[in-house]
Chain A
Amino acid sequence: MAAEAKLDPMHQFQLEKLAGADWNIAGYNVAFTNSALWMAIATLALIVFVAGGMKRAVVPGRWQMAVETFTGFIDGMLAANVGKNGKKYVPYIFSLFMFILFANFLGLMPLGVVGVHAFTFTSHFSATGVLAVLSFAIVLIVGFSKHGFHFFSLFVPHGTPVGMIPIIFVVELISFLVRPFSLGLRLFVAMMAGHVLLEVLSSFVISGGNNGPIMFVIAGVPSFVLMVGICALELLVAGIQAYVFALLTCVYLNDAENLH
């Protein structure tokens, strides 16, 4: 039964309590899980990475150059999507992008080779949903504090015929309210799908090998070759999903910052 469980492609998403099984805050359990551990590792890795780029040299070294490339990338993304008002969101978007990027990459690290099982907390919508709601909340707070009730004019695009305004308003409102869900689910689905695919292919390699040399050649070897390619694709997806999350947050912030 235990050997069978290892071939279950969903087993990798299993949450386990590592400590504090009885930690409660206001009746809610906040046990430290494997997911929380990898959040901590991602945070630590990110702090180490950015701290390494803080030498503040006039002529940057490689590490400093790498960190400055990321800050410049986020700065450019905000400048392109929000304009010069977007500068103040650089800390948030940078944290968001790098946190997701590090989480995605750490989850893909081949640490199983040394017996450690990497956990991708971005493959849980309970984690990505929090980030999505956070981004959405910031958009709402900025929108309403900056424009007040005028923010509702976001749901009535320019040039809408008067008769169409009630329908358009409802349609736009729904599309607006769907944003946090699409934002959180997109990342969760992309990460989960990739990891399931890798797990399924790796089970083909193992099962093929267990069923004799002919099956190994027919099923195992092609699956392994495909897996190598999918691994590269997943590295790309890890970057792209972090980018999409940050980019969409920028686009939504633009709506709130520069109401049309």
Chain B
Amino acid sequence: MPQIAQLGEFYSSQIFWLLIFFGITFFVVGRGMVPKVMDTVASRDKQIADDLKAAESARAQADAEEAAWRTRENANRAQAQGLIADARGQAAAAAAQRLAVAQAGIDATIVGAETRIADARRLAADEIETVAADATREIVSRIAGLSLDDAAVRGAVKENLVHG
């Protein structure tokens, strides 16, 4: 077993070189490089944590802004609804008023027209009476040879037209 057989010859060399090379490892790698590697990891973890925190606060702010916007939006909508209702009421009132005016004008026109129609009908009836009386008188004088009084003929015609 060389580990024991050669111990006397080589123990000092083994110890010396192990201390040398482990020392180099410790001071160059352990003390020199490892802290930098761990710094990198720590700064990355910190950056990730910071970024997450920033994102979280940004989201909270966005939520707050959205809530504020929603409140404002609801108020605006309510105000707009109020304006629309007012405008609708005013428009309805104005329309009703204009309708009333128009109705009055139409009624007056209708009354005038009806009066005119009644006058025209009366005139037409008088005309027919006159024509009928003349025709009757003419017919009587031709057929019976009678010369009738104008007023009598007219009275008889009137009676027949009314009761006819």
Contacts and interface: CB of A to CB of B under 8 A. Distances in A.
A51 B33 contact: yes
B37 A68 contact: yes
- Chain A residues touching B, majority SS: helix
B32 to A, nearest CB: 9
Interface string A63-83: 010011001100100000000
Contact of B30 (A14, A33, A94, A131): A94
Given A10-B2, A47-B28, A54-B33, A90 B10 contact: no
Given A50-B34, A71-B37, A91-B35, A13 B1 contact: yes
Contacts of A183: none
A56 B36 contact: yes
Contacts of A42: 21, 25
A71 B17 contact: no
A168 B50 CA distance: 52
Contacts of B69: none
Interface string B24-52: 11101111011111111100100100000
A43 B41 CA distance: 24
Given A10-B2, A98-B25, A99-B22, A124 B14 contact: yes
A52 to B, nearest CB: 10
Interface residues of B, number: 37
Given A29-B13, A126-B15, A192-B3, A58 B37 contact: no
B100 interface: no
A91 B29 CA distance: 8
A143 B95 CA distance: 101
Given A43-B24, A98-B29, A126-B11, A30 B37 contact: no
B51 to A, nearest CB: 11
Contacts of A67: 37
A95 B22 contact: yes
Given A91-B35, A126-B11, A36 B41 contact: no
Interface bracket on A = 35 or more
Given A124-B3, A192-B3, A30 B16 contact: yes
Given A13-B1, A56-B40, A71-B34, A94 B29 contact: yes
A68 B43 CA distance: 13
Contacts of A75: 38
A25 interface: yes
Nearest to A192: B3
Nearest to B4: A125
Contacts of A32: 13, 17
B22 A90 contact: no
A188 interface: yes
Contacts of A51: 33
Given A35-B14, A130-B15, A130-B18, A68 B40 contact: yes
B34 A94 contact: yes
Nearest to A35: B14
B64 interface: no
B6 interface: yes
B6 to A, nearest CB: 5
A246 interface: no
Contacts of A239: none
B16 A25 contact: yes
Contacts of B2: 10, 13-15
Contacts of B117: none
Given A30-B12, A90-B30, 8 more contacts: A13-B2, A25-B16, A54-B33, A60-B40, A68-B37, A75-B38, A91-B34, A94-B34
Interface of A: 10, 13-15, 25, 28-33, 35-36, 39-40, 42-43, 46-47, 50-51, 53-54, 56-58, 60, 64, 67-68, 71-72, 75, 90-92, 94-95, 98-99, 121, 123-127, 130-131, 134, 188, 192
5 contacts: A15-B6, A43-B21, A43-B24, A56-B40, A71-B38
